[in-house]
């Protein structure tokens, strides 16, 4: 008969959706502490503020294919933190507008309301989270896992460690743990640049969201057209992953100029009238669909990992990975 495992103290690294979901599902079974390097929760479900302008500069919207994810979302919809974005949608082939139709009710395109980061805020409310705590080293000693949170500060020991940070950041900490290193090493995340444009006057575009093919940008949305947003007109442009990966270390101004020109060329509008212009670099934005397990568990070391990168670069994938991991860990309690 195997040794009974008593899970009492669990550390989770990362307060993006996957970290928040795994922590919430585990918290009635264990003492869970989440460590997050930034000042707030939500990870890539992020919002950037610039005066009167707001930009969801990471994830744009999400769909819910599984019944399990729809059940999870219902209380967030009821609380007014998630809503269906019924955008006027378009597709461009380079600068040719090829399709236009409205997104309807039959297949909701959800967004956080009034901002994408509202979801992380709500999900983190009743969790034990240490913010501004970048984990810089992990070590497994006789009493369990001890984490270093910068400047030599060490945590109390934990029985289990759950990594809920992107693959490369997880790999950097997991160097001494061959199984997790190998699992991360098989998954390569892709970069993306986000261009944020704020306008003093309304701009005339015949759509709210546009997918772009055959250009260096892949997506443009009128951020301010999402439900419950303010009236200041904001536009969000994403580069393609391949263009970002080829230009990740370029000067930010050069990236901004190129994306601004490309967005103007594609739409046929002079977007240089924007009074606010800013670029954000996402080094680990996205990942193609993965085969293999949806999460990672190393029972011998009591080490686990989850995140979108185990499945594919989608919000629902982050949820799936975290839920599968939580179910597997609960079964071990």
- Which residues contact ligand FAD (rule: CB under 6 A)? 13-19, 35-38, 43-45, 58-62, 134-135, 164-166, 169, 192, 194, 238, 282, 285-286, 307-308, 313-315, 317-318
Beta strands in 205-292 (DSSP E): 209-213, 217-222, 233-239, 276-286
Q: Closest separation between CB of residue 209 and ligand FAD, Å?
A: 10
Q: Which residues contact 84 (CB under 8 A, 6 or more apart)?
A: 105, 108, 109, 110, 227
- In the bound state with ligand FAD, the residue whose beta carbon lies nearer, of 63 and 268, is 63
Instruction: Please enumerate in sequence order all residues whose Cβ is within 8 A of that of 74, keeping only pairs 6 or more positions apart, or say none.
Output: none
Length of the chain: 333
Beta carbon of residue 3, minimum distance to ligand FAD (angstroms, whole number): 30
- Smallest separation (angstroms) from ligand FAD to the CB of 38: 5
First-to-last C-alpha distance (Å) of the chain: 15
Cα 326 to Cα 27: distance, rounded to the nearest angstrom: 10
Closest separation in Å from C-beta 201 to ligand FAD: 27
Q: Tell which residue, 224, 238, 52, 24, has the closest CA to residue 119.
A: 24
| Nearer to ligand FAD among residue 242 and residue 275 (C-beta) | 242
Tally: H helices and E strands in the chain: 8, 19
Strand-pair partners of 298:
303
Considering the complex, state which of residue 238 and residue 302 has its C-beta at the smaller distance from ligand FAD: 238
Q: How far is the CB of 66 from ligand FAD (least distance, A)?
A: 13
Minimum distance of ligand FAD from residue 136's CB (angstroms):
7
Which C-beta is closer to ligand FAD: that of 3 or that of 266? Answer: 266
When the beta carbons of 153 and 268 are compared against ligand FAD, the nearer one is 153
Q: Which is nearer to ligand FAD, 4 or 170 (CB)?
A: 170
**Cα–Cα distance measured from residue 241 to residue 288, given in angstroms and rounded to the nearest whole number:** 11
């Amino acid at each position: 008969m195997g040794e009974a495992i008593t899970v009492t103290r669990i550390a989770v690294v990362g307060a993006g959706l996957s970290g928040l979901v795994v922590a919430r599902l585990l918290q009635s079974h264990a003492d869970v502490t989440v460590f997050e390097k930034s000042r707030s929760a939500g990870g890539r479900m992020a919002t950037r503020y610039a005066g009167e302008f707001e930009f969801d500069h990471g994830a744009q919207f999400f769909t819910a294919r599984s019944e399990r994810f729809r059940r999870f979302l219902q209380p967030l919809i009821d609380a007014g933190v998630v809503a269906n974005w019924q955008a006027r949608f378009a597709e461009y082939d380079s600068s040719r507008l090829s399709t236009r139709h409205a997104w309807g009710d039959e297949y909701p395109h959800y967004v956080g309301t009034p901002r994408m980061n509202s979801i992380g805020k709500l999900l983190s409310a009743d969790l034990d989270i240490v913010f501004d705590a970048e984990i810089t080293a992990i070590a497994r000693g006789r009493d369990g896992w001890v984490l270093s949170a910068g400047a030599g500060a060490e945590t109390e020991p934990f029985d289990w460690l759950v990594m809920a940070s992107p693959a490369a950041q997880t790999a950097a900490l997991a160097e001494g743990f061959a199984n997790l290193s190998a699992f991360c090493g098989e998954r390569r995340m892709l970069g993306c640049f986000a261009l944020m444009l704020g306008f003093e006057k309304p701009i005339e575009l015949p759509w709210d969201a546009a997918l772009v093919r055959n250009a260096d940008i892949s997506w443009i949305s009128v951020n301010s057209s999402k439900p419950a947003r303010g009236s200041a007109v904001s536009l969000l442009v994403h580069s393609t992953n391949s263009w970002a990966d080829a230009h990740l270390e370029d000067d930010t101004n050069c990236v901004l100029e190129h994306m601004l020109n490309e967005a103007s060329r594609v739409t046929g509008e002079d977007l240089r009238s924007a009074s606010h212009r800013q670029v954000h670099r996402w080094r680990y934005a996205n990942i193609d669909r993965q085969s293999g397990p949806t999460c990672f568990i190393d029972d011998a070391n009591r080490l686990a990992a989850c995140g979108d990168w185990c499945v594919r670069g989608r919000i629902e994938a982050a949820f799936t990975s975290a839920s599968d991991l939580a179910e597997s860990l609960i079964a071990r309690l």
